[in-house]
Amino acid sequence: MGLAAGIIGLPNVGKSTLLNALCQAKAETANYPFCTIEKNIGTAKVPDPILEELKALLDPKEAVPATVEIVDIAGLVPGASQGAGLGNRFLSEIREVDALVHVVRCFEDENIAHTEGSADPLRDVELIETELALADLERLEKEAERTKRDFSPQGRKLHAVLEKLSSGLSAGEAVRDIPLSKEEAELASPLDYLTGKPVLFVANIDDSGHYKENAGYQALCQRFGPENVLPVCARLEEECAELEPDERIEFLSQLGFEEDALARLIEAIFKLLGLIRFYTFANNKLRAWEIPQGTTAEIAAGKIHSDMQTGFIRAEIIQLADLKKYPSLPELRRQGLVRSEGREYQLQDGELVHFLFSGGSR
């Protein structure tokens, strides 16, 4: 599996419902806590305006979007760090993912049980964050114990960073919010800590479509910043997940939804994971590929086929803006708009790439 985002939150808040909406998956959802025990894994197609533009220019037989892996993890409850509700196992599943999508119940529905009695978005977030922080503190203690006899200069530096993380966490900060120098981050690997992973909040709102007036959504925005909170009505999105994209948008707009919340969310998860896209066009097939930012051309070629990595010669790079002016490869070449790059070149988001490798080109 490549980079993956994990859906976390209290039990019965709509995590599996959201996975089904995002990935057209068939995870079991039910109106009782701990419906999910075994994690569900899905793949979401990343909506992509550049792919659409390339499709219009190149007229391929097939166009395949990039994807992102999403894992729906069992609900956490207070005490999870001490093993409550199978907490330890679920926490270790959270440890395996690279970013967190934290679902917060902001919908009113007296028929849907809430493990804490009633929904209170900020308190609910804090319950989860406290469990994650406690698990991190435990890990920090183990790490400090394991390395306590390392008196080398590196060892001393590591002790100092662990101390810094530990006092930050004890004061209620998440590891991701504790400023670390590059050297400190390399020593302590903050991404290995649950509160060190990048996070996005999903306000699961009711199906009225008026999310701006939803008090829970507003409270989350005020606390975490509107750029980090996305409103979605998971149940409604799940219901229309199997419609054709155009029908879905029309259905939602009739209900008063002004924007495609699901598309915005998938794009936000993609960015949260630090992914970018490059495109290939070969054998009449246009395809978007997801790679971590900073991936070299050689490694990117290997994503398509291992032979292309081992036999890598060079990558020819075309920009969408140039393709719009000259929509044919020979013409682009004549205009000097096909750039050649070697194996160490780091691909940039949105580039159309043609790989040359011993034994072929693609």
Ligand X SMILES: Nc1nc2c(ncn2[C@@H]2O[C@H](COP(=O)(O)OP(=O)(O)OP(=O)(O)O)[C@@H](O)[C@H]2O)c(=O)[nH]1
Instruction: Enumerate binding residues for Mg ion (CB under 5 A).
Output: 15-16, 35-36
Neighbour-count burial of 26, counting CB atoms closer than 10 A to its CB (0-12 exposed, 13-18 middle, 19+ buried): exposed
- Going from the C-alpha of 304 to that of each of 47, 299, 362, the distances in angstroms are 20, 9, 9
| Stretch 284-313: interaction string toward ligand X, x if CB under 6 A | ------------------------------
197-216: contacts with ligand X (CB under 6 A)? 204, 206
Q: Are strands 199-204 and 229-232 parallel, antiparallel or unpaired?
A: parallel
* Residue nearest to ligand X according to CB distances in the complex: 75
**How many residues lie near ligand X (CB under 6 A)?**
25
User: Does 14 help bind ligand X (rule: CB under 6 A)?
Assistant: yes
Among ligand X, Mg ion, none, what does residue 40 contact (CB within 5–8 Å per kind)? none
Among Mg ion, ligand X, none, what does residue 127 contact (CB within 5–8 Å per kind)? none
User: Does 16 help bind ligand X (rule: CB under 6 A)?
Assistant: yes
User: Does 59 help bind ligand X (rule: CB under 6 A)?
Assistant: no
Question: How near is the Cβ of 73 to ligand X at its closest, in Å?
Answer: 9
User: Does 326 help bind ligand X (rule: CB under 6 A)?
Assistant: no
Q: For ligand X, which is the closer residue by CB, 33 or 302?
A: 33
Among Mg ion, ligand X, none, what does residue 112 contact (CB within 5–8 Å per kind)? ligand X
7 dihedral zone (left: phi>0; alpha: psi -120 to 50; beta): beta
State which of residues 1, 30, 84, 160 lies at the interface with ligand X (CB under 6 A): 30
Both tokens of 12, joined, read 């019965």
Distance CA(102)–CA(203), nearest Å, equals 9
State which of residues 4, 8, 15, 121 lies at the interface with ligand X (CB under 6 A): 15
Contact 246, 270 (CB under 8 A): no
Residue (of 226, 229, 251, 227) closest to 238 by Cα position = 251
State which of residues 31, 92, 167, 222 lies at the interface with ligand X (CB under 6 A): 31
Q: For ligand X, which is the closer residue by CB, 35 or 338?
A: 35
Other Cβ atoms within 10 Å of 10 Cβ, number: 23
Distance CA(232)–CA(324), nearest Å, equals 35
